[in-house]
Amino acid sequence: SSQIAAGGNKLRGRVAFVTGGTRGIGAAISRSLASQGATVAAGYGRNTAQADQFLADLNETGRKDVRYSVHRGDVANADDCRRTVDEVIETHGRLDILINNAGITIDRTVLKMQDEDWDTVIGVNLSGAFYLAQAALRHMLERGTGRIVNVSSVIGETGNIGQANYAASKAGLFGLTKTLAKEAAFYLAKNDKLDPNGIGVTVNTVTPGFVATEMVEAIPEKVLARITDTIPVKRLADPQEIARVVHFLAADASSYITGQVWGVNGGLDM
Ligand code: NAI
């Protein structure tokens, strides 16, 4: 008979660290994980007032049997990444789920792009995910269970005018995800730490299409209308539609999925 557990979507007792977790897609992810019982630590870059507001709001409207915290840190800074992961583990005792969601855009066509535009976007979107995954993985491999979900973008699959830095950073996450997935499984097998319930340590990526958040609100209305017209389902995604997929990939239910890129794009790229 099978040793594999039923693999539910519940997250009771789990601790999740969601970078950029206090607004936009990240906030929807934080809420989604918390609603399934996870303790949620939300990271943010600079806006302490916004993060404190988000925390107050969660404490007010979220589940009362779940704990919440916010952690300030620049994901482009390796020391900040290590410190925030330590902080989360110190505050909540463990780390089961890492969601690398923090991301930025600095759009310019290649001919106009400055070195700094390139370095900054790669630093936040790609290096940040690496530093955090490295710190979190140590802890997860020790325990033999864990989930890492990297939030990439459909732009990483298709490219986009004015987004060479962003597209490269988001495509970079595919290679990072697949390598982390292989190394995690290899380590567990080699060290006889394969989880008897089959939950294990998995690493996956989601590639959202265009989602109704501040990032997309910055796009001029006419351009946005044209983009929407190219989306087969003719609308932007609600952040919750991304969060639901992230939640599945963070839960036991996704135990046989690792190293994958999951499109959540209304058919924009198939
Ligand atoms: P947003 O701009 O609303 O939120 C970004 C979050 O990242 C903020 O919470 C911010 O504090 C954090 N952040 C930015 N720089 C940081 C740094 N250096 N250190 C730590 N945290 C930092 O963005 P949105 O739209 O919620 O996007 C979230 C993720 O989803 C990003 O990775 C983005 O690239 C990706 N995405 C968004 C799409 C959209 O249509 N909005 C589509 C596809 C992917």
* Rounded-to-integer distance, Cα 140 and Cα 195, Å: 12
Q: Tell me what the mean pLDDT of segment 110-137 comes to.
A: 98
Cα 87 to chain centroid, rounded: 18
pTM of the model: 0.97
* Rounded-to-integer distance, Cα 266 and Cα 237, Å: 7
Give the distance (Å) from ligand 1 centre to CA of residue 220.
18
pLDDT of amino acid 197: 87
* Torsion sign over Cα 237, 248, 183, 97: positive
List, for residues 19-53, the tens digit of each pLDDT value.
999 999 999 999 999 999 999 999 999 999 999 99
List, for residues 217-266, the tens digit of each pLDDT value.
888 999 999 999 999 999 999 999 999 999 999 999 999 999 999 999 99
Judged against a pLDDT cut of 80, whether residue 213 lies above it is answered with yes
Catalytic residue IDs: 166
List, for residues 153-207, the tens digit of each pLDDT value.
999 999 999 999 999 999 999 999 999 999 999 999 999 999 888 899 999 999 9
Question: Which of 232, 91, 80 lies closest to 154 in space, CA to CA?
Answer: 232
Written as one string, the DSSP assignment of 158-208 is H--TTBHHHHHHHHHHHHHHHHHHHHHHHHHHHTT---TTS--EEEEEEEE
Structural domains of the chain, ranges and CATH numbers in brackets: 15-263 (3.40.50.720)
Give the distance (Å) from ligand 1 centre to CA of residue 2.
40
pLDDT of amino acid 175: 98
> Pocket residues for ligand 1 (CB within 6 Å)?
19-20, 22-26, 43-45, 74-76, 101-104, 124, 151, 153, 208, 210-211, 213-216
Helix/strand/coil for 237: strand
List, for residues 52-109, the tens digit of each pLDDT value.
999 999 999 999 999 999 999 999 999 999 999 999 999 999 999 999 999 999 999 9
Which residue's alpha carbon is nearest to atom 34 within ligand 1? 103
pLDDT of amino acid 7: 65
Give the distance (Å) from ligand 1 centre to CA of residue 246.
15
Which residue's alpha carbon is nearest to atom 39 within ligand 1? 211
ipTM for the complex shown: 0.99
Instruction: Name the pLDDT band for 4 (thresholds 50, 70, 90).
Output: low
pLDDT of amino acid 1: 46
pLDDT of amino acid 215: 79
Query: Ligand 1, residues 124, 125, 215: which to mutate, most atoms within 8 A of Cβ?
Result: 215
The answer for residues whose C-beta is within 8 angstroms of residue 229's C-beta and 6 or more apart is: none
Give the distance (Å) from ligand 1 centre to CA of residue 26.
7
Q: What's the burial of 132, exposed, middle or buried (CB within 10 Å: 0-12/13-18/19+)?
A: buried
pLDDT of amino acid 6: 59
* Rounded-to-integer distance, Cα 262 and Cα 163, Å: 21
Q: What's the burial of 194, exposed, middle or buried (CB within 10 Å: 0-12/13-18/19+)?
A: middle
Average pLDDT, the chain: 95
